[in-house]
Chain A
Amino acid sequence: MKSRHVGFPNIDAYISTIIIGIKSELAYKLDYVIWLFFQFINVLLMILIWSAIYLGTGVASIRGLSLPEIYIYFFVVYALRGFVLTQLPDVIESDIQSGSIATTYTRPLIYPIQVYMRNAGQDLIGILFITIPLFAIAMAIAHVTPTLTTVVLLIIEILIGYVLANLMGFIIGMTAIKLINISSLESIMWGTVLLLGGGIMPLNMLPQIVQQILYLSPFAIMLYIPATTFLGTVSTGIIMTSIFAGLAWIALLAVIAFITWDRMRKQITSAGG
């Protein structure tokens, strides 16, 4: 299947795609409110679980993190989960399964960018209703105003994590062209990111050798590094290692994504409807 070659990016069309994504996300408002409710409930339960561990152990800090820092850690991690648990593979899978890839692909827009823009609408809603409120709570608990350096580092880390998550999501989404049903792969990706990225527990609780490996992986930069940068409990050396490792992973995954798309797009068939 061939798409029309577009020489100059059609910015208006891409912006419209984002707006459609936002409208789709808010189509079932009650669903969204319920989802938000459980996000807040789960972060509170996670805090209660760790409170019991700290109080039961009777220590002021575990592996350098005090109980209030654990509270902040989980608020920041839950704030960032919306960024990294991308729905991009789901969007591509849905296009393939429903057959709408045929119409989507023939639009005068580059498909990978178009599909990203559709997902970006959902990301923006997540930022508005999850990331910002949870970050605000974290700041209120921490009683600190982050320094300019912290803010800059946080933005860089979050952006790297976001790009990595979307590149991974795109590569996994591309496999739908062959496999049709990729919900399992999506779940594997989510589970891996949460476990190895520090979404279930801070990575400094893991053995030293595992930590060192994870700092070089694409996962730590997604949740753990931004959360601990905000807390100020991670060394500059680890931050820089993770940032450079993240950039290297972006370069590698971008090449893989480009090659995958170049090969897979020739095999797109539309069979749904």
Chain B
Amino acid sequence: MVEITLIDSIKYYLINQVYAWKSFFAYRTDSLLWLFYSAFTGIFSFITITVIYNVSSGFPGWSYYQMLILSSTVVMVIDAIEYNVNSVSVIGSMRRGMLDIQMVRPYGLATIMISTQSGAKTLISSFATSLVIFTYAALKLHLSLAYIITFLGIVAIGTYALMMFLLMLTVLSYHLFKRGMFMEGLIGTLSMVGGYPLSIFGTIIMLLFSILVPIGIAVYYPAELMFGKINVVFSLAIILFSLAVAFVSYKLFYVLMRHYTSGGG
């Protein structure tokens, strides 16, 4: 039996990325238009926040630049997740039996799904514009590099946890619905909710998006820590919770995959 190392898995992922990028540029005009449009999705949220703060005091306890950090971070987090876990594509390939041939390869199932069914490449331009907005807001807030690195570290852990959670949920959606509409709708809602302080939605929705669908661990709570709204103990609890979400999601993913039956092909 072939021993697969982490390096092998990374190579497999990167080879698939090269293939996916080449496929993406097969329709050059469309791919360039996509990159152009995608760049604007980050700017849309910038315009929205700017207009809101221009006509009002904005969100209680959150300054304009803090909101720019929050809204640009959620775009980057969702982009990073969607780049790797394209739920609609995964469910489609499961339904058509396209995933089956990939599953015989000697890599982990999660690695195979993330490598072969990765999402729209256009998200890279949306990520880039959001990074520019993030940098601009961070400079205006005079945030220290240590703060930013800590913030991005916690965001990275939360993003990984959320990615594993959504991967598990994608397989669950396949079992329940056989189609990707639920995941598409959920990610759209997460993009909307995550860009605003969870506290404004009330306790029930705040708990829902903190625990049940944990977008909060990837964006909102790290931002709260950076702006001194929560203490270090609470943020450590958030990190532990993120790791627990990632672990449980990973285990559940394999449990659900054991019951996977191909949709045909």
Interface residues of A (CB under 8 A from B): 28, 30-31, 34-35, 37-38, 41-42, 45-46, 48-49, 51-59, 62-63, 179-185, 187-188, 191, 195, 200-201, 205-206
**Beta-carbon contact of A206 and B189 below 8 Å:** no
- 8 additional contacts, CB 8 Å, given A34-B177, A53-B59, A191-B40? A28-B181, A34-B181, A45-B205, A46-B192, A49-B200, A52-B60, A53-B52, A56-B59
CB-contacts of B171-206 with A (<8 A): 177, 179, 181-182, 185-186, 188-189, 192-193, 196-197, 200-202, 205
Of B41, B48, B122, B202, which contacts A48 at CB under 8 A?
A: B202
Of B33, B181, B192, B197, which contacts A188 at CB under 8 A?
A: B33
Of A48, A54, A205, which contacts B205 at CB under 8 A?
A: A48
Q: Does B29 contact A (CB under 8 A)?
A: yes
Chain B min CB distance to A255 (Å) = 24
Q: Does B47 contact A (CB under 8 A)?
A: yes
**Beta-carbon contact of B189 and A56 below 8 Å:** no
A-B contact pairs, 17 of them (CB 8 A): A28-B179, A30-B177, A31-B177, A31-B181, A34-B181, A35-B185, A37-B185, A38-B186, A45-B189, A49-B196, A57-B57, A58-B57, A179-B27, A183-B30, A184-B33, A184-B34, A205-B51
User: Which B residue's beta carbon lies closest to that of A39?
Assistant: B185
Q: Which residues of B contact A52 (CB under 8 A)?
A: 59-60, 196-197, 200-201
**Beta-carbon contact of B29 and A179 below 8 Å:** yes
Q: Which residues of B contact A35 (CB under 8 A)?
A: 181, 185
A45-B192 CB under 8 A given contacts A52-B60, A53-B56: yes
Q: Does B44 contact A (CB under 8 A)?
A: yes
**Beta-carbon contact of B59 and A62 below 8 Å:** no
Please report the C-alpha to C-alpha distance between residue A42 and residue B192 in the assembled complex, in whole angstroms.
8
Q: Which residues of B contact A45 (CB under 8 A)?
A: 189, 192-193, 201, 205
Of A48, A49, A179, A200, which contacts B30 at CB under 8 A?
A: A179
A191-B182 CB under 8 A given contacts A38-B189, A48-B201, A52-B59: no
A200-B58 CB under 8 A given contacts A37-B185, A42-B192: no
Interface residues of B (CB under 8 A from A): 27, 29-31, 33-34, 36-37, 40-41, 44, 47-48, 51-52, 54-60, 122, 177, 179, 181-182, 185-186, 188-189, 192-193, 196-197, 200-202, 205
Please report the C-alpha to C-alpha distance between residue A205 and residue B222 in the assembled complex, in whole angstroms.
31
User: Which B residue's beta carbon lies closest to that of A185?
Assistant: B33
For the A-B complex, the count of residue pairs with Cβ-Cβ distances under 8 Å equals 102
**Beta-carbon contact of B44 and A200 below 8 Å:** yes
Q: Which residues of B contact A201 (CB under 8 A)?
A: 48, 51-52
Please report the C-alpha to C-alpha distance between residue A175 and residue B188 in the assembled complex, in whole angstroms.
27
Q: Which residues of B contact A200 (CB under 8 A)?
A: 44, 48
Please report the C-alpha to C-alpha distance between residue A231 and residue B197 in the assembled complex, in whole angstroms.
29
Q: Which residues of B contact A38 (CB under 8 A)?
A: 185-186, 188-189
Q: Which residues of A contact B33 (CB under 8 A)?
A: 184-185, 188
User: Which A residue's beta carbon lies closest to that of B192?
Assistant: A45
Chain B min CB distance to A53 (Å) = 5
**Beta-carbon contact of B55 and A62 below 8 Å:** yes
Please report the C-alpha to C-alpha distance between residue A188 and residue B29 in the assembled complex, in whole angstroms.
13
Chain B min CB distance to A184 (Å) = 4
Please report the C-alpha to C-alpha distance between residue A184 and residue B56 in the assembled complex, in whole angstroms.
34
Please report the C-alpha to C-alpha distance between residue A88 and residue B169 in the assembled complex, in whole angstroms.
31
Q: Which residues of B contact A62 (CB under 8 A)?
A: 55-56
Of A37, A42, A184, A195, which contacts B44 at CB under 8 A?
A: A195
Chain A min CB distance to B126 (Å) = 11
Please report the C-alpha to C-alpha distance between residue A200 and residue B179 in the assembled complex, in whole angstroms.
28
Q: Which residues of B contact A53 (CB under 8 A)?
A: 52, 56, 58-59
Q: Which residues of A contact B27 (CB under 8 A)?
A: 179-181
Q: Which residues of A contact B51 (CB under 8 A)?
A: 201, 205-206
User: Which A residue's beta carbon lies closest to that of B32?
Assistant: A184
A181-B185 CB under 8 A given contacts A56-B59, A188-B37: no
User: Which B residue's beta carbon lies closest to that of A36?
Assistant: B185
A56-B37 CB under 8 A given contacts A48-B202, A181-B27: no
Please report the C-alpha to C-alpha distance between residue A25 and residue B144 in the assembled complex, in whole angstroms.
53
Please report the C-alpha to C-alpha distance between residue A208 and residue B48 in the assembled complex, in whole angstroms.
16
For the complex of A and B, list the 5 residue pairs with the smallest distance between their C-beta atoms, beginning with the closest. Answer: A38-B185, A52-B200, A184-B33, A184-B34, A56-B60
Q: Which residues of A contact B52 (CB under 8 A)?
A: 53, 201, 205
Of B41, B55, B181, B197, which contacts A191 at CB under 8 A?
A: B41
Please report the C-alpha to C-alpha distance between residue A114 and residue B142 in the assembled complex, in whole angstroms.
59
Please report the C-alpha to C-alpha distance between residue A28 and residue B91 in the assembled complex, in whole angstroms.
15
